[in-house]
């Protein structure tokens, strides 16, 4: 039996009853997530774990490098479609762009996209975030951390390029947040625009 098979069996035998009423309610009432959570595909970033959220609470988007393309950059539609659906149809009240430390995509972005011809899709995906490199301070002490933070902030600004997002932010119905998950310490830092840096989650300033 594979690791996944064993996990499914354990869920069915030990956990399913605890969630039964919750999923019956979700089935009856549909999904009403309060947050669109955009993060990296990295296996170490588990949004429901680090936010202690239940099924139905987070509308999830995962992509390589938690990249949020601007609305007019139409080469890749998946993330853009999820933004429109979560904001315009589901009416979430918050959007989190959550990057993380030790991100392979951000390392690649800091070094320049991979040149290998055998990874054409990965290269094309990372190339769309090339603009992030122009946002970096000169000679950052930690170039990968600088790229990671700049990519989160670039993503938040790009969110505002979607008309449905801009409209709701202007009306005070939608808040945008930049988070950084530090894998080694499991700490969540949030962007504080007032002081222009990432800080522990308790001091977050909402925009
Ligand atoms: Zn990553």
List the beta strands (DSSP E) in the chain: 35-40, 58-63, 94-100, 175-182, 187-192, 197-200
125 Cα: distance to centroid of ligand 1 (angstroms) = 13
Average of per-residue pLDDT across 7-14: 95
63 Cα: distance to centroid of ligand 1 (angstroms) = 8
126-151 pLDDT, tens digit per residue, is 999 999 998 998 899 999 999 999 99
pLDDT over 90 (residue 205): no
77 Cα: distance to centroid of ligand 1 (angstroms) = 19
Q: Show me where the domains of the chain are located.
A: 1-29, 31-203
Topology given in CATH for the domain delimited by 31-203? Beta-carbonic Anhydrase; Chain A (3.40.1050)
Average pLDDT, the chain: 93
Tokens, residue 19: 């969630």
Q: Which of 181, 203, 144 is nearest to 42 (CA)?
A: 181
3-state secondary structure of 32: coil
């Amino acid at each position: 039996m594979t690791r996944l098979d064993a996990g499914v069996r354990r869920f069915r035998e030990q956990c399913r009853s605890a969630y039964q009423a919750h999923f019956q309610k979700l089935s009856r009432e549909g999904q009403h997530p309060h947050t669109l959570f955009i993060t990296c595909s990295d296996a170490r970033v588990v949004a429901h774990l680090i936010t202690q959220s239940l099924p139905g609470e987070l509308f999830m988007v995962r992509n390589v490098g938690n990249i949020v393309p601007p609305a007019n950059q139409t080469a890749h539609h998946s993330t853009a479609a999820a933004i429109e659906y979560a904001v315009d149809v589901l009416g979430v009240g918050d959007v989190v762009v959550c990057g993380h430390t030790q991100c392979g995509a951000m390392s690649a972005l800091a070094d320049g996209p991979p040149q290998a011809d055998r990874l054409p899709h990965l290269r094309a995906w990372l190339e769309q975030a090339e603009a992030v490199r122009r946002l970096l301070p000169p000679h950052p002490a930690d170039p990968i951390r600088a790229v990671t933070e700049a990519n989160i902030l670039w993503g938040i600004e790009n969110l505002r390029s979607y008309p449905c997002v801009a409209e709701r932010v202007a009306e005070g119905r939608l808040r945008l947040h930049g988070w950084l998950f530090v894998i080694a310490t499991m700490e969540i830092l949030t962007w504080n625009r007032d002081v222009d840096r990432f800080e522990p989650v308790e001091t977050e300033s909402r925009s």
